[in-house]
Structure 1
Amino acid sequence: MTDMGLISIREDAKDYYDKEKKKHKNYLNRQFHVSRPNEVWVSDITFFRYNEKSFYICVIIDLYARKVIAYKIGYNNSTQLTKSTFKSAYESRQPNQSLLFHTDNGSNYKSRSFMTYLKGLGVTQSFSRPHVPYDNSVMESFFSNMKREELYRTKYRSEKELRAAVDAYIKFYNGERPHSKNQYKTPDRKEAEYYSK
């Protein structure tokens, strides 16, 4: 504070930075092993171009069994895409305990409407540090596999075929593809075993 009662711009900027850092904290901090389903969900959006059209694929994975619990494909990388994907996951899973939702620093996930929506559900948001993909490596790995095993290997004849292929891949990933983090069980089997206890 100066003699004239003015606030230092530098102090103001630091306060704003500290506030933003707290609001966009990395609570997950690469702790990818969790004890139950619906404890931590991770999400990201990938881009795929087909026939001069851009497609954005938003996916949410439950960390417990590395299971894809929701996905949507849109023409725009929008808050509406992330919100509708989360809503689909939330309505189908109906978590009844604390839930952490971890993503990168994309503007969709940081938008006021999306953050307000999650806060209203009692969901805690966690964010990767800027330009640190390892903070969300489970999602990075999933998209890498999907592109290598499906999207980049196939020449689609229509948008309908592309959408059907993504749907089929996710069903294969959940139901047939063994995962090393699941002791080589599929995500569906790992989660089913939890609920059968």
Structure 2
Amino acid sequence: MSTTRKESISTPAPNVYSEAFKRQVVQEFESGLYTKASLQRKYGIAGNSCIPRWLKQYGKLSHPTYLSKGRPMKDKDKQYIKELEAKLKLREQELASALEKKEAELAAYKQFIAIAERELNISINKKVWHQAVQEIKAHTSLNLTELCRLFGRSKQAYYKRQSPKCRLSRENAILSKVSRIRHQLPRCGGRKLQYLINKDLESYDHRVGRDYLFALLRSRSMLVGKRKKYHKTTNSKHWMRKYPNIIKELDIVRPEQLWVADITYLESERGYRYLHLITDAYSKKIVGYELSNNMKATTTLKALSMALKGRIYDDMLIHHSDRGLQYSSAVYTELLRENGIRISMTQDSDPYENAIAERVNGILKDEFGLDQVFQNERGMNKQVSESIALYNALRPHLSINMLTPNQAHKQNTVQLKRWKTKQPLELNPTAVLNNSIFDV
């Protein structure tokens, strides 16, 4: 009798969980979608030690020991971060597995092609790569260069394989763009022309390479040749004070830190006229100018007054020029000092001591046609004002990361190229940009 009673009150056998079940619970916990308590309720798991033990045995993540006691995190943000980390880890594993599968598929396809080429004695890549690129490029995120590289080819090889009709159409489109740019920047060439052509192209695939562009322009006799002339406009043999050169080691880091001034001549059928210029050394913007039939200090003063009127910054400014009597005159230096501007001058007649000013002079003459002989002063005045406006608004510079002077003058974060080295003139957007390069 006693034996039967003992059997009736014996403890029931504990639940036995399969290995697959344990791993399933661990995976669901590490996904971050469930807590330990919710899994216990979901599957009727008795006891608080089962799930922590399974996590230790089968888990892929690191779990704090206090989880084994069943206490949830008190900090909800930390709990949320932990859940996100678990999801991310699981996603990484899924992506790694998918990538491994795709790589295996790709290897199989390559082997398939190799077998076909060997058995049929043909080169599939050589025969159909161009057609494959044409058909695939409309349905892939890869650009043309990357797509060609998959087949061991270059973008240039792709264009060479195009039909003569397609090549001619592309060449004509490029030449049309060159013509439109040169309507406003007549002698624009080299890298700047390439930059302006590519600037407005929406597709990376259609951008023009430098060597291709030069070869195309050369074949159509459209390369711009260099034309340099030097006419001395400086008279430094005078009794007035000559200031030292204080910019030799100057690091130019912002607009209106350094202005450079110079005078260049223009020629008309009635004789020479003189263009007085002031340029910002940082932005390369022409901030002041005056065109006159003389080189008097009063004329140079007008260019300075224009530059001062257009200032937009209040930081310290240096004015650098040659030792010409215009810049050494009392009336000119007095105006500089009244505006708190420090004075610097070249020490020799070497134009490289004022290289930025000389370079801007050359650009205006070489690229904007100011080196021609003008028929009258009216035509000269009009072309000078138009050329300076276009130069400031449209002409990019390598030294300021292909920004225009107007763009560079409105910021101070451009890292200038390392050589010695912007608003009185503003374009009317409607007048200048109508039919401009930005409409191409």
Q: Which residue of 1 aligns with 2:346?
A: 128
Q: What's the CA shift for 1:112?
A: 1.8
CA distance in 2, matches of 1:126, 1:184: 28
Within 5 A, what are the aligned runs for 1:10-49? Answer: 24-29=243-248, 31=250, 34-49=252-267
Check if 1:192 corresponds to 2:419. no
Match of 2:319 among 101, 116, 127: 101
Q: Give the alignment of 1:47-196 within 5 angstroms.
A: 47-93=265-311, 95-149=313-367, 150-152=369-371, 154=372, 156-194=374-412
Secondary structure in structure 2 of the residue aligned to 1:151: coil
- Provide the C-alpha distance between the structure 2 equivalents of 1:90 and 1:162, rounded to a whole number of angstroms: 25
Bigger-Rg structure (1/2): 2
Contact 2:266 2:273 in 1 (8 A): yes
Distance in structure 2 (CA, Å) of the matches to 1:30 and 1:186 = 25
After superposition, the C-alpha distances for 1:87-131 in whole angstroms (9 at most, x for unaligned) are 111012154221100001111001122112211221111001121
Q: Once the two structures are superposed, what CA deviation does each residue of 1:122-163 show, in whole Å capped at 9, x if it has no partner?
A: 1111001121211110011111121122122x4534311111
Residue pair 1:30, 1:136 contacting (<8 A) in 2 also:
no
State how far apart, in whole Å, the 1-side matches of 2:267 and 2:249 are. Answer: 30
- Answer whether contact 1:43 1:102 (CA < 8 A) is retained: yes
Q: TM-score, normalised by structure 2?
A: 0.37
CA contact (8 A) 1:39 1:64 kept: yes
**TM-score normalised according to structure 1 size:** 0.80
Which protein, 1 or 2, shows the higher relative CO under an 8 Å CA cutoff with sep ≥ 6?
A: 1
Q: Using the TM superposition, name which of 143-152 and 40-49 deviates more.
A: 143-152
Kindly tell me the number of residue pairs found equivalent between the two proteins.
Answer: 172
- Aligned residue for 1:13? none
Once residues 30 and 104 of structure 1 are traced to their aligned partners in structure 2, the CA distance between those partners, rounded to angstroms, is 17
Between structures 1 and 2, the one with greater strand share: 1
- Equivalent residue letter for 1:63: A
Instruction: Quote the RMSD (CA, aligned, Å).
Output: 1.8
Q: Is the 8 A contact 2:258 2:320 kept in 1?
A: yes
CA distance in 1, matches of 2:264, 2:381: 14
Q: Structure 1: which amino acid aligns with 2:340?
A: G
1:14 is matched with none
Percent of paired sites with the same residue: 26
Alpha-carbon contact 1:37-1:64 (below 8 Å) kept: yes
Q: Sort the Cα spacing of 1:30 and 1:108 in 2 relative to 1 into closer, same or farther, 3 A.
A: farther
Between structures 1 and 2, the one with greater helix share: 2
Name the CA distance, whole Å, in 2 between partners of 1:30 and 1:50: 39
The verdict on how the C-alpha distance between 1:95 and 1:190 changes in structure 2, with shifts beyond 3 A counting, is closer
Q: Which amino acid aligns with 1:28?
A: I
Q: Which structure 2 residue ranges, 5 or more long, are not aligned?
A: 1-240, 414-440
